[in-house]
């Protein structure tokens, strides 16, 4: 009999919506919400002994503290398996489910599986470190989402070998050496012949797929343009007032630079967790070139700077999140008449 612990958010626990999104991690005995359907699917193979609940906002704003609290709760439960979600297309919930599954599997050595829509940002954030079962985009597909989540969890807990092709979870980007029936040269030629003949074949090394972004047309006269400053370097006012995460950022922020000639050391700092910030903090203008831009403005090289700069952290941030940030920032600056943006990365 497997001892299963189920992780859900405040909404699926029936505690409320956004007004309860700050809920700290807590534990309930037995199944709650969708966990009741999980229990009915077990058919004597195990028991949902407890449900872990955490508010989406609480987890998103302080993931390290949320994981620490959840790990402490898990330690008392002696779980054989952790199941998280399904989170469907909910971004914050997906990030939490993926991180809970990753933490349980890699830090607590407890088999763990999450379920979410393949385009959920939680997939990019945790896929390499967690097993994630794809599901629909809304809770309307709950009945279809739970059986494969449970099936993969039971197989993982049994110690059986897993494969995304066979078991249906999202590829984790992990390559393993196996013994093949034919030498590599023969297999390669066979694939080429199959491709030429129009027959189906499967590459042994699938390549990642990235969007092609067409460059914007050049600004006709940059001297007449208002320019915005955007960065993923994590440069924020001292104290990080909006609590941008040092990795896997869940949001971006905008801060006023109206009347500011340069970023002063001590008043601005980087919260980026992917590089040493000592030299950057000594001169924040090397992250966001406000000083140079102001000199360019004074010399007539540009018409002016947008009154706010935009900042987030690119360290581990999912592609979907980054795309959402870009769309929101672009919408604001475009509506404000900005003609160009300088985006600095690290």
pLDDT reading at 26 higher than 80: yes
pLDDT of residue 176: 75
**pLDDT higher than threshold 70 for residue 13:** yes
Whether residue 143 has pLDDT greater than 90 = yes
Position 38 pLDDT exceeds 90 = yes
Collapsing DSSP states into helix, strand and coil, what is residue 222?
Answer: helix
Helix segments in the chain, DSSP class H: 35-42, 56-61, 63-75, 91-106, 121-126, 142-158, 164-167, 184-197, 278-282, 290-298, 319-335
Average pLDDT estimate for 278-282: 93
pLDDT at 278 over 70: yes
Is residue 312 within 8 Å of residue 244, measured between CB atoms? yes
3-state secondary structure of 23: coil
User: Quick one: pLDDT band at residue 232, thresholds 50, 70, 90?
Assistant: very high
Cα separations in angstroms, 113 against 32, 116, 286 = 18, 10, 42
Q: How confident is the model at residue 331 (pLDDT cuts 50, 70, 90)?
A: very high
- β 26-29/46-54 pair status: antiparallel
Angle (CA) 64-69-71 rounded to 5° is: 90
320 pLDDT exceeds 80?
Answer: no
Domains within the chain, CATH numbers bracketed: 2-167 (3.40.50.2300), 222-344 (no CATH)
Q: Which has more pLDDT, 320 or 223?
A: 223
Q: What are the residues whose beta carbons fall under 8 Å from the beta carbon of 298, sequence distance 6 or more?
A: none
For residues 280-297, give the mean pLDDT: 96
Q: What number of H helices and E strands is found in the chain? A: 11, 12
pTM for the model stands at 0.60
Q: Using one digit for the tens of pLDDT, what is the confidence trace for 74-108?
A: 888 889 999 998 999 888 899 999 999 999 999 99
Half-sphere exposure of 65 (CA within 13 A, CB side): 12
Q: What is the mean pLDDT of residues 262-277?
A: 93
pLDDT of residue 208 exceeding 70: no
Q: Are strands 81-84 and 112-116 parallel, antiparallel or unpaired?
A: parallel
- % the chain with pLDDT above 90: 68
pLDDT, average across residues 116-136: 86
3-class DSSP assignment, residue 46: strand
Beta-bridge mates of residue 114: 84, 132
275 pLDDT tier (thresholds 50, 70, 90): confident
What is the rounded distance in angstroms from the CA atom of residue 54 to the CA atom of residue 73? Answer: 12
The first and second tokens of residue 187, run together, are 């297999």
Tell me the pLDDT tens digit for each residue of 150-200: 999 999 999 988 888 888 888 887 777 888 899 999 999 999 999 999 999
Residue whose structure tokens are 């690119």: 314
Pull the structure tokens for residue 317: 């941030």
Q: Distance between CA 192 and CA 185 in Å, rounded?
A: 11
Structure tokens at 23: 């809920």
Question: Do the beta carbons of residue 123 and residue 132 sit within 8 Å?
Answer: yes
CB 88 within 8 A of CB 116: yes
Q: From CA 314, how far away is CA 246, in angstroms rounded?
A: 9
Helix (H, G, I), strand (E, B) or coil at 302: coil
- Rounded mean pLDDT of 1-21? 92
Residue 1: is its pLDDT beyond 70? Answer: yes
pLDDT exceeds cutoff 90 at 10? yes
DSSP assignment string, 74-117: HHTTT-SEEEE---TT-HHHHHHHHHHHHHHHHTS---EEEEE-
Provide the β-strand partners of residue 308: 256
């Amino acid at each position: 009999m497997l001892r299963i612990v189920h992780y859900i958010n405040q909404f699926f626990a029936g505690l409320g919506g956004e007004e309860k999104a700050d809920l700290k991690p807590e534990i309930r005995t037995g199944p709650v919400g969708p966990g009741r359907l999980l229990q009915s699917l077990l058919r004597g193979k195990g028991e949902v002994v407890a449900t872990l609940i955490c508010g989406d906002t609480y987890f998103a704003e302080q993931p390290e503290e949320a994981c620490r609290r959840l790990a402490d709760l898990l330690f008392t439960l002696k779980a054989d398996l952790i199941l998280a979600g399904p989170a469907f297309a909910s971004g914050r919930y997906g990030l939490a489910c993926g991180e809970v599954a990753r933490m349980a599997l890699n830090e607590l050595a407890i088999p763990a599986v999450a379920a979410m829509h393949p385009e959920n940002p939680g997939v990019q954030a945790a896929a390499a470190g967690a097993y994630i079962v794809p599901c629909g985009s809304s809770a309307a597909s709950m009945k279809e989402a739970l059986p494969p989540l449970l099936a993969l969890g039971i197989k993982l807990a049994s110690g059986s070998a897993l494969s995304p092709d066979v078991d249906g979870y999202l590829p984790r980007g992990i390559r393993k050496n196996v013994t093949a029936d034919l030498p590599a040269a023969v297999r390669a030629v066979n694939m080429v012949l199959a491709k030429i003949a129009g027959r189906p074949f499967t590459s042994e090394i699938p390549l990642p797929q990235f969007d092609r972004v067409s460059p914007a047309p050049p600004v006709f006269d940059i001297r007449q343009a208002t320019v915005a400053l955007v960065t993923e370097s994590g440069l924020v006012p001292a104290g990080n007032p909006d609590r941008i995460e040092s990795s896997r950022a869940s949001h971006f922020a905008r801060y006023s630079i109206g009347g500011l000639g340069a970023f002063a050391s001590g008043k601005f700092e980087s919260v980026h967790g992917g590089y040493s910030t000592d030299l950057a903090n000594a001169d924040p203008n090397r992250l966001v070139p406000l000083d140079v831009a102001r000199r360019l403005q004074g010399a007539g090289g540009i018409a002016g700077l947008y009154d706010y700069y935009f900042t987030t952290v690119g360290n581990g941030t999912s592609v979907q999140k980054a795309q959402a940030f870009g769309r929101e920032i672009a919408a604001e600056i475009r509506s404000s008449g900005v003609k160009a943006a300088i985006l600095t990365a690290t």
